[in-house]
Amino acid sequence: MMSDPVVTTRDLTKRFGAAVAVDSVNLSLERGQIYGLIGKNGAGKTSLMRLITGLSIPTSGTVELFGNADPSAQQEDRKRLGCLIESPGLNGAMTAQENMRLHRVIRGIPSTTVEAELLDLVGLADVGRKKVKNFSLGMKQRLGIAIALLPSPELLILDEPVNGLDPVGVVEVRTLLKRLSADHDITILISSHNLPELYQTATDYILIDQGAIRRTVTLDQLEAECRQYLRIACAEPEKLLRVLETELGIRDVTVMPDRSVRLYDHLDDPEAVMRTLCAHEVFPTTFTTEGDTLEGYFLAVIGGDSRA
């Protein structure tokens, strides 16, 4: 049984003069899922995140947090979320531990052990007295994530959290986010330019362009859309299917309305398939490898260049 949504937006809109940053967005984010927010630069990703977190006021429409749509009561609800939007609010003259303590005190979190626990969680346990101004961009991103986790959030919103991380750091953040979602039932909304990384992290995808949601898909739906296959057409599709099954043991096929066949096996050796068909007097009129790439699918929906 599905729980109540953590976030629901209804016709959420944000305008800056004549420009529409967020255009009548209707979303529902379920507990424990990881949502990848994908769009080109200027598509409205950050503006949408700011509206959900209360950092920006909508022009029209509503945001419900944990089932509560009353703006006056949402200040308390927002204590249940953590966020890292645009850049971490860090004091460069302080150490990582001092930054953690500052934010812990500001948020009124009594635990004194949570600082070291979270720094260890994000891989900053050994930075000692090093000042944050001397941190790499990746280290600052890790510290920003640690600060976002201070309130033990039920909803975590991260804008480009792997920006500046080396490949090892990217894997560590991915592992961390998946563990937070699985072990603590945290809902995560994450934007990223790194499409392959989102593919390995998110359970659901939200495609946004010009401030409007163009499509929402689950991981299973995305994999089905991007699955590679051999497309085979011939004059005798029934015979084609019989040869595939009896001679090659293939059953993972789909017959399309135009009577062509999509073959999902033997993609690594299409020549063997062709030889077998011809040996049994099945002569394809179409024999091609098709299927979209992850990036190709996203760009087909949102259009434009590859910068998401």
Output the CATH code of domain 7-217: 3.40.50.300
Helix (H) or strand (E) holding 254: strand 253-255
Assign 308 a pLDDT band (cuts: 50, 70, 90): very low
Question: Average pLDDT of 106-117?
Answer: 90
Going from the C-alpha of 55 to that of each of 29, 49, 82, 225, 280, the distances in angstroms are: 19, 8, 12, 35, 67
Task: List b or e across 159-184, with b for residues whose CB sees 16 or more CB atoms inside 10 angstroms.
Answer: bbbbbebeeebbebbbebbbebbeee
Instruction: Tell how strand 261-263 and strand 253-255 pair up.
Output: antiparallel
Residues 180-207 pLDDT 10s: 898 888 999 999 877 777 888 999 999 9
Mean pLDDT of 257-275: 90
103-133 b/e (C-beta count within 10 Å ≥ 16 → b): bbeeeeeeeeebbeebbebbbbeebeeeebe
Mean pLDDT lowest for which of 27-31, 81-85, 221-225, 233-237? 221-225
User: Please, which pLDDT band fits residue 295 given cuts at 50, 70 and 90?
Assistant: confident
Q: What percent of the chain has a predicted confidence (pLDDT) above 90?
A: 56
Q: Using alpha carbons only, what angle is made at residue 192 by residues 188 and 194, rounded to the nearest 5 degrees?
A: 125
Residue 136 main-chain phi, psi, to 5 deg: -70, 165
Question: What does the alpha-carbon distance between residue 251 and residue 241 come to, in Å, rounded to a whole number?
Answer: 9
Q: Quick one: CA torsion of 68, 71, 76, 78, rounded to 10 degrees?
A: 80
Q: What is the pLDDT of residue 239?
A: 95
- pLDDT tops 80 at residue 86: no
Q: Which of 124-128, 139-143, 168-172 has the lowest mean pLDDT?
A: 168-172
Most confident option among 21-25, 69-73, 295-299: 21-25
| For the chain, domain boundaries | 7-217, 228-290
Tens digit of each residue's pLDDT (9 = 90 or more) over 15-24: 999 999 999 9
Q: Is the pTM of this model over 0.95?
A: no
Thinking of the domain 228-290, which architecture would CATH place it in? Answer: 2-Layer Sandwich (3.30)
Q: Give the model's pLDDT for residue 306.
A: 42
Spell out the alpha helix ranges (H) of the chain. Answer: 45-53, 74-77, 96-106, 114-121, 137-148, 167-184, 195-201, 219-226, 237-248, 270-279, 294-302
Indicate the average pLDDT of the chain. Answer: 89
The predicted model gives 169-180 an average pLDDT of 85
Between these two residues, 176 and 115, which has the higher pLDDT value?
Answer: 115
Which of 50, 44, 8 is closest to 214 using CA atoms? 44
Structure confidence at residue 305 as a pLDDT band (50, 70, 90): very low
Indicate if the pLDDT at residue 174 is higher than 90.
no
Q: What are phi and psi of 191, to 5 degrees?
A: -105, 150
- Residue 206, amino acid: I
